[in-house]
Chain A
Amino acid sequence: MGSHGSHYEREAELDLILEETGFSRANLSGLHQRFQYLDKNKNGFLSQMDLHNIKELERNPLTDRIINSFFPDGGQCVDFGFVWVLAHFRPLENEDSTAGDPQKPKPLNSQNNKLHFAFQLYDLDCDGKISKKEMLQVLRLIVGVEVTDEQLEVIASRTVQEADEDGGGAVSFEEFTRSLDKMNVGHKMSIRILK
């Protein structure tokens, strides 16, 4: 694990991560091993290239966006804090332990935060709304080449229109959440092994 700085510092940070992300120690150590595996150059952080090197990821139409979500604000490298992103995908716990305490921030893997994460994938310019253009871009990514631009435009308009309740021409986060009310987002965005 890199060179040894102060041991206690590390421990403290580890606890910080554990508390923040909610991972168990075993999981965290597994993730750390994964981090080290991905970090082929052994320089302690991952670049975009390291993530692009994951073979299976290349077949994903959303690869670029997913990878970019690990590097917010255009950074080029990320260290082990990448678990912060992964924490979003922990399965939901059954009881909501922070329900009684409005001051405490919701855990990273709460339904709301999961939805937020997904919302970010659409909202590239970070203005809090998914415009029709952004919707179109997403559609273009995940639909095959046989669909024409015109068709996609129509579909994008329709999509925005369906979700847009206040007529703003774009989908805000709340509208996004509401349109996915019936879907079991918690289940869809949970990865079993991260429990």
Chain B
Amino acid sequence: MASHLCVPPIAWNWLPLLLLLLLVVVFRFPGAACDLNVSSNSTSHSEPKAHFAAAAAVATTASSEQDERLPVFSLDYDYVQIPYEVTLWILLASLAKIGFHLYHKLPGLMPESCLLIIVGALVGGIIFGTDHKSPPVMDSSIYFLYLLPPIVLEGGYFMPTRPFFENIGSILWWSGMGALLNAFGIGLSLYLICQVKAFGLSDVNLLQNLLFGSMISAVDPVAVLAVFEEAHVNEQLYMMIFGEALLNDGISVVLYNILIAFTKMHKFEDIEPVDILAGFARFIVVGVGGVFFGIIFGFISAFITRFTQNISAIEPLIVFMFSYLSYLAAETLYLSGILAITACAVTMKKYVEENVSQTSYTTIKYFMKMLSSVSETLIFIFMGVSTVGKDHEWNWAFVCFTLIFCQIWRAISVFALFYVSNQFRTFPFTIKDQCIIFYSGLRGAGSFSLAFLLPLSLFPRKKMFVTATLVIIYFTVFIQGMTIGPLVRYLDVKKTNKKESINEELHTRLMDHLKAGIEDVCGQWSHYQVRDKFKKFDHKYLRKILIRENQPKSSIVSLYKKLEMKQAIEMVETGILSTTAFMIPLQAQRIQGTKRLSPEDVESMRDILTHNMYQVRQRTLSYNKYNLRTETSEKQAKEILIRRQHTFRESLRKGNSLPWGKLSGIKNIRYLSFPYSNPHSANRETGTGVFTDDDSSDAIFPPVTFKPHARTGSLQERRQQPEMIPMERLRRGGRSLNLGGQRSAARGDQVSRVRPPLIPKPQFHAVDEEYESGEEEEETRVVGPRWTAEPRNGKEYHKSHSPLLPRK
């Protein structure tokens, strides 16, 4: 092959890209390209291959002695074949995905893996049809070193940690025992079938069957999560499926490796019980060791990101390199790389997210998705290629029984294992949940890869295994995948179809928000001591080491930081309460009193409400394997925050009470008389702590103010306003406090409480100079008053202070 300068004219490049598949076929024929694009001064055809060459003006003196003329345009396909084809496949899969999503109904109907399989089969068909001389082959090292890690990394990174750890007992129990149960169950049953002479399978021994069982039990249920989304499955169920997907791959591979080692080491008859014990021990060591490695690497990389403020461009690099390194390091020692990389991602995520810049964070997320997407696509293409081909060995008995046993054993493992774990759970899984879990046992790329990589020397009947695996995958993905959506919706008993009145809609939504808010206040304290201990440990030590300093302690500030300045300004300029995009006939009407409204008006009102009411924040981010969908909730959050800021400033500008509640004075609501020590010093601390914690005011919010009044230091003001205003009234009112905040008698049978207030002695300390005075007209000097409470006398209160006793 002569060397060539690759400077082809533009026209050459565009042709294959534009004409995609069809031209790919054509290009594959060596020399066929010559018919298409070769210019008139064609090359000499003495060589079978054509070469791409430089432009015409090449000195020909040196070559004048050669036999042939210097080729002006030539084609060299071999040089670029592999990257070229890989790129084309990926591009093809991407185009297919675009098409898939353009048609809105499809994603709800079938999981996206269906689509990928179809594309793979298509490409396979083409390759087969064109008799490609070197079809793509996936070998063990490519799969395990390059294709698998991104997929696992992505799964680990996007896993919601809190629900995972809350359910970790159930998840480990289910994934671990489930995988083992399935593997051995299927293996043994198939072995029994193989013993039946009639099927012609007697040469498949026990080990091979067990190995096949372990391969085929690697499920990939994450694909169904997207299909579930509308049905609002509860968080636990979601987590079980996610957790299973995450751990199942790792466990299957570990099992697979152990069994392969067995196959290599002994003849079947020599296996003794001690070897089996050794197998179990190895299983545990490999698993735990992998996790351990992962955690260490996770901490190291979190620590390093602490120092990358100035070179934020390498932050994603660090994240990816360390994760990959953890995988490789674990693999070196024959530990489970999959579990290592998973543990690394989980550990790293929490700290890295706080350390890295916003753009790095986005980059990491997207890049991860992209890598895993590419990997999976390639695997499916390989799968497609091997589907369409002559390399199959079809054995009816084996295939059918495999299918049957897969379902049976999954059912057994689900119901048995959950029955056991339900005894220990506070919130047991219902039968409905268990059915969903059972049905979501889709197989995916993992099983196929393991089957494909079986060494032929040890497995003379490898083709049969591969065929059976392919059948199972196709069956589960297509049939189960497509029907699980309707099944879930069917099981989820819907409300009656009767339309809700506007009242109900509004109040329902309000209550949902209220509930979400109260849930947030409650936090997620659990019944488990371990978790709380870990949190304490985490706060005390880990965070100090691993997280950067100068982090804003207030969450609002960090949230505001993420607000885009441009959007904020836009919102202000157009006016928050801007005109609508909706065209409804009601705009012109002014409804007063009891004017009757036509049903269409009511309908349209209902529609407006339904479409425009804010969504309740979801606890578990909906996970989609193939996509990142955070746009709407981010947008909504920003809107809410900006509006609240705006309202706040509005109300303050009017200099009056806040739009909520009656501020009748400062009262420290004491329900109980737990005496606390040193309220003075504590409160002094409070003052400083509270007002200065969000000090990282590198323009938290744009200096662009909403109002003409010069106001800077947005957030600090916002915070101190509630304190200021009441103090104002206090001053004006001459410290007359409103005693006895008794609620109005209109409250039905509620326990009415009299809350004798604390008598606070407000002490006006001149606060630090960071606040400018002169914001409110009345305020002249003191801006941030702090007041402390009298040291409470426990005894005194106890008698008069019985707020909780019912007063009727």
**A residues neighboring B (CB under 8 Å):** 1-3, 5-6, 9-10, 13, 16-17, 20, 26, 30-31, 33-34, 37-38, 40-45, 47-49, 51-66, 68, 70-82, 84-86, 89, 103, 105-106, 108, 112-113, 116, 118, 121, 124-128, 137-139, 142-151, 153-155, 157-159, 161-163, 167, 173, 179-180, 182-183, 185, 188-194
- Counting chain B CB atoms within 10 Å of each CB, the highest count among A37, A60, A106, A126 belongs to A60
The complex places the Cα of A183 from the Cα of B794 at a distance, in Å, of 45
Which residues of chain B have C-beta atoms less than 8 A from A62's C-beta?
510, 513-514, 517
Residues of A within 8 A of B501 (CB): 162, 179
Top 3 A-B residue pairs of the complex, sorted by shortest distance between their CB atoms: A81-B671, A128-B746, A43-B682
Closest chain A residue to B657 by CB distance?
A74
Do the beta carbons of A89 and B515 come within 8 Å of each other?
yes
**Once the chains bind, are A53 and B555 in contact (CB under 8 Å)?**
yes
Known contacts A26-B527, A142-B510; can you find 18 more A-B pairs with CB under 8 A?
A: A6-B794, A41-B682, A51-B521, A52-B719, A53-B554, A56-B617, A58-B556, A68-B660, A74-B661, A78-B669, A81-B672, A105-B751, A113-B750, A145-B578, A150-B586, A158-B597, A179-B504, A189-B511
Given contacts A66-B518, A167-B594, contact A183 B673 (CB under 8 A): no
What residue of chain A has the Cβ atom nearest to residue B798's Cβ?
A9
Complex contact B668–A76 (CB within 8 A): yes
CB pair B527–A138 under 8 Å, yes or no, is no
Of chain A, the residue at the smallest CB distance from B667 is A75
Contacts of A142 in B (CB 8 A): 506, 509-510, 513, 613-614
Does B639 lie within 8 Å of A144, measured CB to CB? yes
Q: Which residues of A contact B633 (CB under 8 A)?
A: 59
Closest Cβ–Cβ distance, residue A76 to chain B (whole Å): 6
Question: A74-B662, A77-B669, A188-B511 known; A193 and B522 CB under 8 Å?
Answer: yes
Given the known A-B contacts A31-B525, A138-B510, A154-B591, are A17 and B672 also in contact in the complex, defined by CB atoms under 8 Å? yes
Q: Kindly list chain B residues whose C-beta atoms are within 8 Å of the C-beta of A192.
A: 427
Is B744 interfacial (CB 8 A cutoff)?
yes
Measured CA separation A193–B189 after assembly (Å): 43
User: Which residue, A54, A70, A142, has most C-beta atoms of chain B within 10 A?
Assistant: A142
**Given A163-B503, A180-B503, is A47 in contact with B686 using a C-beta cutoff of 8 Å?**
yes
| B687 CB, nearest partner CB in chain A, Å | 9
Q: Is the CB of A77 within 8 A of B605?
A: no
B502 contact from A113, A138, A162, A189, Cβ within 8 A: A162
Chain B residues, Cβ within 8 Å of A159: 502-503, 506
Q: Does B713 contact A (CB under 8 A)?
A: no
Contact A71 B510 (CB under 8 A): no
Report whether A60 and B640 are in contact in the complex, using a CB–CB cutoff of 8 Å.
yes
Q: A10, A17, A42, A43 — which one has the most chain B CB atoms within 10 A of its CB?
A: A43
CB-CB nearest in chain A for B555 = A55
Interface check B516, CB cutoff 8 A: yes
CA distance A85 to B518 in the complex (A): 9
**Cα-based distance from A57 to B382 in the complex (angstroms):** 47
Residue ID in chain A nearest B747 by CB atoms: A116
For A105, list chain B residues within 8 Å (CB). 749-751, 806, 808
Query: Which residues from A are CB-within-8-Å of B521?
Result: 38, 51, 54, 57, 66, 70, 86
**Residue interface bits B658-691, CB-to-A below 8 A is 1, else 0:** 0111111111111111111101001101100110
0/1 string, B508-552, CB within 8 A of A gives 1: 111111111111111111110000100000000000000000000
Q: Is the CB of A147 within 8 A of B580?
A: yes
Cβ of B660 and Cβ of A124 under 8 Å apart? yes
Return A133 CB to nearest CB of chain B, in Å: 11
- Chain B, residue nearest A114 (CB): B511
Residues of A within 8 A of B664 (CB): 73-74
B177 interface residue per 8 A CB criterion: no
Interface pair B668/A77, CB less than 8 Å apart: yes
Given A142-B509, A146-B581, residue A161 in contact with residue B594 (CB < 8 A) = yes
Residues from chain B with Cβ under 8 Å of A146 in the complex: 578, 580-582, 612
B726 x A191 contact (CB < 8 A): no
Contacts A34-B522, A59-B637, A145-B578: A79 and B502 contacting too (C-beta < 8 A)? no
Where chain A touches its partner, the secondary structure class is helix
Tell me which residues from 577 to 632 in chain B have a Cβ below 8 Å from any Cβ of chain A.
577-582, 584, 586-587, 589-592, 594, 597, 601-602, 605, 608-609, 612-614, 617
Residues of B within 8 A of A193 (CB): 522, 524-526
Whether B643 is near chain A, meaning CB under 8 Å from some CB there, is: yes
> Is the CB–CB distance between B510 and A147 below 8 Å?
no
Residues of A within 8 A of B659 (CB): 124, 137
Kindly list chain B residues whose C-beta atoms are within 8 Å of the C-beta of A147.
Answer: 580, 582, 608, 612
Contact between A151 and B608, CB atoms less than 8 A apart:
yes
List, sorted by A's number, 18 A–B pairs whose CB atoms are closer than 8 Å. Answer: A2-B676, A13-B673, A17-B672, A54-B521, A54-B523, A55-B559, A58-B640, A62-B510, A71-B661, A73-B755, A77-B789, A118-B514, A137-B659, A145-B578, A145-B643, A148-B578, A155-B609, A190-B515
Known: A48-B722, A68-B661, A116-B750. A30 touches B527 (CB 8 A): yes
Residue B83, interface by CB 8 Å: no
Q: Does B695 contact A (CB under 8 A)?
A: no
Residue of A nearest to B559 (CB): A58
B674 with A183: CB separation less than 8 A: no
| CB <8 Å contact, B746 and A43 | no
Considering the complex, give the chain A residue whose CB is closest to the CB of B554. Answer: A53
Judged by a CB distance under 8 angstroms, whether B636 is at the interface is yes
Cα of A53 to Cα of B722 in the assembled complex, Å: 15
Nearest Cβ distance between residue A37 and chain B, in whole angstroms? 7
Quick check: is B507 within 8 A (CB to CB) of the other chain? yes
Are A10 and B520 closer than 8 Å at their CB atoms?
no
Interchain nearest-CB distance for B725 vs A (Å): 10
Considering the complex, give the chain A residue whose CB is closest to the CB of B662.
Answer: A74
With beta carbons under 8 angstroms apart, the residue of B590, B672, B675, B723 that contacts A3 is B675
**How many angstroms from the CA of A16 to the CA of B613 in the assembled complex?**
40
| B176: Cβ under 8 A from any A Cβ | no
- By a CB distance below 8 angstroms, the chain A residues around B640 are 58-61
Closest Cβ–Cβ distance, residue B729 to chain A (whole Å): 10
Asked if B641 lies at the interface with its beta carbon under 8 angstroms from chain A, I say yes
Contacts of B661 in A (CB 8 A): 68, 71, 73-74, 124
| Cross-chain contact of B743 among A43, A126, A191 (Cβ < 8 A) | A126
Cβ–Cβ contact B517 & A16, under 8 A: no
Q: Does B576 contact A (CB under 8 A)?
A: yes
Minimum Cβ distance to chain A for residue B515 (Å)? 6
Q: Are B514 and A189 in contact (CB under 8 A)?
A: yes
Question: B748 an interface residue at 8 Å Cβ cutoff?
Answer: yes
Query: What are the residues of chain A within 8 A of B806 when measuring CB–CB?
Result: 105
A84 touches B743 (CB 8 A): no
A residues within 8 A CB of B523?
34, 37-38, 54
> In the complex, which residue of chain A has the Cβ closest to the Cβ of B751?
A105
Query: Do the beta carbons of A173 and B746 come within 8 Å of each other?
Result: yes
Q: Which residues of B contact A73 (CB under 8 A)?
A: 661-662, 664, 667, 669, 738, 741, 755
A127-B746 CB under 8 A given contacts A79-B669, A86-B521: yes
- Expressed in whole angstroms, the minimum distance between the Cβ of A61 and any Cβ of chain B is 5
Residues of chain A lying within 8 A (CB to CB) of residue B125: none
Given contacts A16-B804, A106-B749, A188-B515, contact A84 B503 (CB under 8 A): no
Chain B residues with CB below 8 A from A180, complex form: 503-504, 507
Residues of chain A lying within 8 A (CB to CB) of residue B160: none
A29 and B5 CA atoms in complex are apart in Å by 75
A137 to B805, CA, bound (A): 35
Chain A residues whose C-beta falls within 8 Å of the C-beta of B16 in the assembled complex: none
Q: Which of B506, B518, B556 contacts A52 (CB 8 A)?
A: B556
Nearest B residue (CB) for A163: B503
